[in-house]
Structure 1
């Protein structure tokens, strides 16, 4: 594909809903891809039985209970293989993967693949995962001094994105993420002319800079914990 004409598509949107927020130990419950071109939008979804209890607080967000996942969900290894194959095939063809807070979904997917003895995304691609477009990272980078939260719902409201369905279902979140990316490209049209490889690297560097500043602020406030990982779009695999 044309490396500077990427904004016209295709774009591969990706999102997951999970049992929690730990990318190394939590499990995928639902996943969705949206392949968008100027003419078409194709949606693919998966419901997975994660093999563990889905905490009530997670089910309250995405609407999938343990009982529902056990009754209707796919076996995780089977579904994860399909998800990874679909993503890797598109990434290998140069189609940008669009994910909001990509380091969460891509790191969690890689951890799930390793957990089930399946090849990770870098192993399938023979290289790091790229190209990735992350509206969260782009928004922080290009509008760094704006105050307020930057959750997907916040950017949907900020940029006047309208869509169908409630956020926190994977397919609705993907569609909203693609719409937010489009709004960012309207606000910062110079991004359209940046080659995908260069834009991927710019986001990597922007995320690292943000994480370093955020972690320095945490230390200045005496806050415990490791803070934000500087790695993007996939965090190193947990060991030990």
Structure 2
């Protein structure tokens, strides 16, 4: 299954398609580790995908909006149906729909080349995660959480897996 998924994603990327994933850092890191565990060539060793992460994009376009940033929250905000949340097909469809609505609401997102948007998200995710790390570090009772916040995006490199 890991081989099939990794191959399908690599083929889509080769065809010019972005990977849309909510909280892509988690999903792509999990896929990478599973590929390595099963002796499958990891996705990022095959291709360099343009990744669109609704969470990273939304935090950039609406930084100070109150409320959560879960997929359910983003679907509510962008008026996207989310039936059967937490099933892979429903979550994937909803994440794509959120990115679509976000890009149509923010013209500059729609007009930015995929490779440039991906590169920008690398920096935005780093900034967002650094802010979260700093928040944990200064919040009583959450100080220890700061050490676990990773700045790499969209994938935590395998050498950090320990």
- Using the size of structure 1 for normalisation, the TM-score is 0.63
- 5+ residue gaps, structure 2, are none
Separation in structure 2 between the aligned mates of residue 88 and residue 136 of structure 1, nearest angstrom:
23
- Following superposition, the deviation at residue 227 of structure 1 comes to 3.4
The aligned residue for residue 98 of structure 1 is 20
Greater strand fraction, Structure 1 or Structure 2:
1
Asked if 1:141 corresponds to 2:63, the answer is no
Per the alignment, in what secondary structure is the counterpart of residue 235 of structure 1? coil
Separation in structure 2 between the aligned mates of residue 211 and residue 141 of structure 1, nearest angstrom:
12
Contact 2:35 2:41 in 1 (8 A): yes
Across the aligned residues of Structure 1 and Structure 2, the Cα RMSD in angstroms comes to: 1.3
Q: 1:239 to 1:158 in 2, by over 3 A?
A: closer
Counterparts of 1:50-69 in structure 2, within 5 Å, are none
- Following superposition, the deviation at residue 239 of structure 1 comes to 4.5
Per the alignment, in what secondary structure is the counterpart of residue 89 of structure 2? helix
Contact 2:56 2:125 in 1 (8 A): yes
The aligned residue for residue 38 of structure 1 is none
Q: Which of residues 65, 81, 87 in structure 2 aligns to 1:169?
A: 87
Between the two proteins, the alignment pairs up a number of residues equal to 158
Contact 2:25 2:156 in 1 (8 A): yes
Bigger CA radius of gyration: 1
Separation in structure 1 between the aligned mates of residue 115 and residue 128 of structure 2, nearest angstrom:
20
Counterparts of 1:214-233 in structure 2, within 5 Å, are 214-222=132-140, 223-225=143-145, 226-233=147-154
The aligned residue for residue 128 of structure 2 is 210
Per the alignment, in what secondary structure is the counterpart of residue 113 of structure 1? helix
The aligned residue for residue 30 of structure 1 is none
- Following superposition, the deviation at residue 82 of structure 1 comes to 0.3
Separation in structure 1 between the aligned mates of residue 43 and residue 79 of structure 2, nearest angstrom:
34
Greater helix fraction, Structure 1 or Structure 2:
2
Contact 1:161 1:179 in 2 (8 A): yes
- Following superposition, the deviation at residue 185 of structure 1 comes to 1.1
Counterparts of 1:76-87 in structure 2, within 5 Å, are 79-87=1-9
The aligned residue for residue 157 of structure 2 is 236
